[in-house]
Structure formats: structure tokens, C-alpha cells
Structure 1
Amino acid sequence: MSSPNVDFLGRCAKSRPRFAKHVVGPAPTDPFDFQIWSMSGGHLLILEILANIYSQLDTIPPAEEQNFALFCLFGMQFIEHHHHLEETVIFPMMEPEFTTNVLAEHATFSGALHELDKYLKSVLAVKQGAKNGQVIPIVGQAKVPFSASTIKRYMETMIDPLFTHLEHELEWLAPENIRASGLSKARLDQINAKAEEHIQNEMDISLLVFGTRHVRPESYFPPLPWFLAKILVPWVFWWKDRKLWKFLPKSFVPIEP
């Protein structure tokens, strides 16, 4: 796999304001406005996760390679869960009134994403657990050496098609487009409830910590209950994979207009 000529962090800087502008206020109560708010928040999280991982790849000491590989795997699993949710819940439930080419666009970057997920699991010698963010050691399997350059190549391969797709989704989900499709408020409420159910059932608590600690200070997404955000995440869920949290962002790159 050759490495494309990509300014990875520059590509993040280009998309960051496009995602951030929709989540600088609280969650809308109107479900037609909520779709772009929620999707933008998820996209901004994906961007900050990728930027954070990429910016640290050349700084990881050998003693921390296994921990950082798991941290990277959390990032890929967060992104995979986001797109799995779109393919199995959000966009199918909007049909037939509201249609997109989401599957075709996912195919433009999913190969590199899945190969990176597979590579990180081989570095850790683990297999997938029941939920995203859970892995099971494979007894007797040799670990593949950690390679920052290999991770970079996969990330650089997927960054442009991924962000191009994320930008397209926000265009699709403009409130006026959803209203024009004829989708009802009741259906949108059902979609939101089903998406929340899937997140609760398919995402490990460590992935919740991982995701929420990549939230920019300007962002109101995700709309977590106070007790979950202020008590459970920082004081209970935090401890399970605390060896990884040294890699969380200490600060965020300013958003350029």
C-alpha cells in the first residue's frame, strides 16, 4: 500500500469549521433541525479523534505502543460504529421518502478503515468482543510489530474520501431537504430513539469515555444526561481503561474560519 501525498492535519483544518458550526448551541427541539445538529456533532468527534491520533503517531515510545494501538483501535471502532448506525438504522428508517447514496460513499473509505482495524487487532493479538470498544486476547497468537508509518498510510488513504462523505451528509440532512421529503416528525422521533438504543446496546463504556473526551469545548454534542456526563463518565467509567487516557487531547486546535 503506497502512501498518498496528503496533508492530513490540513484536511482536518479544512473540514473542522464546516462540522463545528452546527453544534455551537444546544440540541434543537425540532427533530428536523436535530438531524444535522446530531450528525455534525458526530462528524466533529470523528475529525478530532483522527487528528489527535495522527498528531501523536511519531511520539509513541516503545513501552507505550500496545496501549496506543488499543487507543487507535478505539478510534476506528468509534468511526465504524457511527457508520454502522447510519447503514442499519438512520438512513434505512428514513426511506422511502428520503434516499441517499450512503452505501456507495461509505465504500470509498471503508476498505482502508476496516484494514486498519484489522491491523491494530493483529498488533494487539485480539479479536472483536461483543461491543465496539471490547476486545478479547487470542491466546498463542503472535503480535505483529507496531508501525506508526503503517497506521499513517491507512489514515492518509481514507481521510479525503471520508471527509468528503461527511460533508455530503450534512448537505443531505439540511432541514429543508428533510421537510421537503415528506418525512413526519413522528418518524424522526422514532429514528432518534432507535439510534440511542443502538448506541447503548453496541458501545462499551470505555468508548463512551473515549468519545466524550474528544468533544471540543465549543460543542454541545452529545446531549448526555447530567449524571452520566458529570458522575459516571469521569468517576466510574474512567477507571476501566485509565492506562489509555494519557493519549486524550490536552487541548484543541483553534477553529479557523
Structure 2
Amino acid sequence: MPAPYPLIVIPPGSFENMFDFPAINMAAAHNMFIQGVNAMAAHAPLVEGDKVAPFVFFSLTVLETIHHHHRLEETVYFDMLEKNLGPGYLAATKEQHDTFVPQIEETESWLQEVRDGKQVYDGTKMLSYIGAFSEKMIEHLNQEVEKLDRDVLRQHFTEKELKDIDTAFMKVALKDINFYTSLPFAAVCADPATPWFPPLPTPLKWATRFWFSRRHRDAWQFGPMDLAGNPKALPSISA
């Protein structure tokens, strides 16, 4: 059974400092994914009956959010950074995606077949799928944050350049997300140590809790946080 993976230590500095921001922001995002994967592993052997469908939906949301993040990195964010950092600076992190993304896609395919009634849910098989991608993915998530070292960024960017990159990136990132899945996922898989992430305006946080979460409410019960931002105890995933 995959172990509960520790969250990434948030890099030093201030979220408001643009040289510190990229690594801090990336670590906080990655911790959401780790929270989601840990929750998937914790619940996988226990769900049955009418819990299967919402758990499958939750798991597919976790994996699609990870995909969305990596697609944006490869097609938008890394190119923006490499204009100053130099071509190839982030090539290794792109290559690491190939070591676990195919396994995530296999997991998604199986879950979609379970969702569509073509396969019967099996908790042991679910854990096997998670184990096939999780360790390499977690290693990658840690290493990727290190590439955004504040001292390196300070040598290659001005604060305004980094701010402009973040503004442009967020416009692209928010353009194709599903508010009924991405926002509730972010709420229930947040890191309690970074309650400011994602940096949503208060009205949108309230809308997430009381409106956007309603459509698939049964799915969010599997997150390690409730929709109000309170940590919950996950089932034990000890061997």
C-alpha cells in the first residue's frame, strides 16, 4: 500500500515577495496534489456500495487537476521562465513528467471504465495503480520546486517581469478550469499550513463552499479538509 507522503516544506521567504513567490506558490500547489493522492490511497481499500461513484469522481478530479497543472507548465509557464533562465533550464522537469504521466493516464482509463460500468471497482487494484505513479511523481514535485530558487530568479528577472509572468499565466490557467470541480478540490485538498492558497478572493471562496461544491458534494467527503477549511482525519493507511 502506498505510504502517506509527507508534504513539501514551504520554501523560506514571503508570498508577497516576487522572488520568493514562484517557489512558495509551486510548493503550495504541489501539496494539494500530495494531499489528494494521500486521500485516494487512504480511502481506496475502504469504499464500497454507494461510496464508489463519488470516490471515483474525486479521484478523477485529483488526477485531472494534476494533468492540468503539468500541461500548463509544459505549454506556457516553463517557456515564459526560460526566456530569461535560458533554453533547457527546465528541460529535466519536463522529462520527469514522462516517468509518471503514462501511469496516471492508465489509472484514469481504469477509473473511467469503473465510472461507466465497464469495470468493477477493486480497492486492491486501485492501490496498485496509485503505487505505479505516486512515488516518482512525489519525487518530481519536490525537485521542481528547487528549480525556482529565489537566488537564481533574482539573477535573471526583475520583480515586474515575474509579476507580469504570473499575471499572464493565471489568465491562461483560469480560462479552462471547471469551477464546479477545480475549486472544491482545492478547498478539500488544501494544505492547512498555507490557508492563503489558492489566493482566491473571499467572495469566490464563499461561492466555492456554498455553491460550486453542491453539484458534486458527495465527492468532496474524501478530501483531507472539509469545505470550511478544517482538517479531517483520514482512515489509517498503515500496512
Per the shorter chain, which TM-score range?
0.7 to 0.9
- For the residues of structure 1 that align with 2:168 and 2:108, how far apart are their CA atoms? 26
In 2, distance between residues paired with 1:115 and 1:36?
Answer: 30
Structure 2 length-normalised TM: 0.85
Find the counterpart in structure 1 of residue 126 from structure 2: 151
Residue 21 of structure 1 pairs with residue 10 of structure 2:
yes
Specify the alignment match of 1:47 in structure 2: 34
1:152-196 residue CA offsets vs partner (Å, 9 max, x unmatched): 11211112211111111111111001122x233333222211221
8 Å CA contact 1:49–1:75 kept in 2: the answer is yes
State how far apart, in whole Å, the 2-side matches of 1:174 and 1:221 are: 19
| Cross-structure match for 1:131 | none
Aligned AA (2:201) = P
Equivalents in 1 of 2:40, 2:198: separation in Å? 21
Which residue of structure 1 aligns with residue 198 of structure 2?
A: 222
**Cα distance between partner residues in 2 of 1:58 and 1:111:** 23
1:34 aligns with 2:21: yes
Query: Which amino acid is 1:197 matched to?
Result: K
Letter in structure 2 aligned against 1:41: A
1:89 and 1:191 in contact (8 A); partners too:
no
CA distance in 1, matches of 2:32, 2:220: 16
For 1:170-185, list aligned pairs within 5 A. 170-180=145-155, 182-185=156-159
Match of 1:107 in 2: 98
Task: Say if 1:144 and 1:69 are closer, same or farther in 2 by CA, change over 3 A.
Answer: same
Q: Could you tell me which residue of structure 1 aligns to residue 169 of structure 2?
A: 195
**Does the aligned pair in 1 maintain the 2:23–2:145 contact within 8 Å?**
yes
CA contact (8 A) 1:71 1:247 kept: yes
How far apart, in 2, do the equivalents of 1:70 and 1:76 lie?
10
In 2: Cα distance, 1:168 partner to 1:124 partner? 34
Figure out how many residues of one structure are paired with residues of the other and give that number: 222
The structural deviation recorded for 1:240 is 1.1
User: Is the 1:94–1:183 Cα contact (8 Å) retained in structure 2?
Assistant: no
**Distance in 1 of aligned mates of 2:119 and 2:175:** 31
Tell me the C-alpha RMSD between the 2 structures. Answer: 2.0
Matched residues, percent identical? 23
TM-score w.r.t. length of structure 1: 0.80
- Structure 1 regions of 5+ residues with no counterpart? 1-5, 126-141
CA 252–166 in structure 1, closer or farther in 2 if over 3 Å, else same? farther
> Structure 2 stretches of 5 or more lacking a match?
226-231, 235-239
Alpha-carbon separation, structure 1, partners of 2:119 and 2:187: 30
State the distance in 2 between where 1:46 and 1:78 align: 8
The equivalent residue for 1:56 is: 43
- Residue 252 of structure 1 deviates from its aligned partner by 5.3
Does the aligned pair in 2 maintain the 1:74–1:207 contact within 8 Å?
yes
Instruction: In structure 1, give the amino acid aligned to 2:176.
Output: E
AA at the equivalent of 1:192 = D
Which residue identity is paired with 1:116? T
8 Å CA contact retained: 1:87, 1:102: no
Shift of 1:82: 1.2
Q: 1:7 to 1:200 in 2, by over 3 A?
A: closer
